[in-house]
A = this chain, B = another copy of it.
Amino acid sequence: MESKPKVIANISNRHVHLAPAELEKLFGPGYKLTKTKDLMQPGEHACDETVKIKGPKGEIDKVRVLGPLRKATQVEISMGDSIRIGAVAPVRSSGDVKGSAPVTMIGPKGTVDLAEGLIVAKRHVHMTPADAAVFGVKDNDTVSIRCGGPRGLVFNNVTARVSDKMALECHLDIEEANAAGVRNGDLVEIV
């Protein structure tokens, strides 16, 4: 009965996506990011650069910058991080930053006070249109993801993100992964 492919789960630690203006404010005019590692989503990569982020009640050092540059700067943290820095970051899909929380970013060459852009990433599963056809879903549909093992659980309200520029991969944050006992590369099921 169960013939649909399993999905690789990978864990997103807190990270920052930068727009060109914020890159220059944080790292200096003309600065170019240094790629250190390709991520599973085509074109996405981790960078050597990190920034400090600061909220009303605390700060977190060494938050990784991911590339490439984007149109809008966005900071993705866990709910635990949000509590730690005293922010009220909403659970949002990547890119959906309107009305999200403010945050300060501190880089080696300057500081940026973002009026909005701080979110807790909504868990999601990337896939191609061909994958979406197999699973019977379309972009922005909500699916459930079953994780097995001793901390097994079923995540509801997982957003399907469908694009021919994507690869089949489920993204959980660290707290979600720890709650489910999931490690990088574990296989999960869309149910």
**How many A residues have CB within 8 A of the partner chain?**
22
Binding site for B on A (CB under 8 A): 78-80, 91, 122-123, 150-157, 173-176, 178-181
Bound-complex Cα distance A79 to B173 (A): 13
Q: Determine which of B122, B150, B176 lies in contact with A179 in the assembled complex, contact meaning CB atoms within 8 Å.
A: B176
In the complex, are the beta carbons of A91 and B156 less than 8 A apart?
Answer: no
Please tell me which one of the listed residues B151, B154, B174 contacts residue A154 in the complex, with CB atoms under 8 A apart.
B154
Dominant SS among interface residues on chain A: mixed
Having A91-B181, A153-B153, A154-B154, one finds 13 other A-B pairs with CB under 8 Å, namely A79-B178, A79-B181, A91-B151, A150-B157, A152-B157, A153-B154, A173-B179, A174-B175, A175-B175, A175-B178, A175-B179, A176-B179, A179-B180
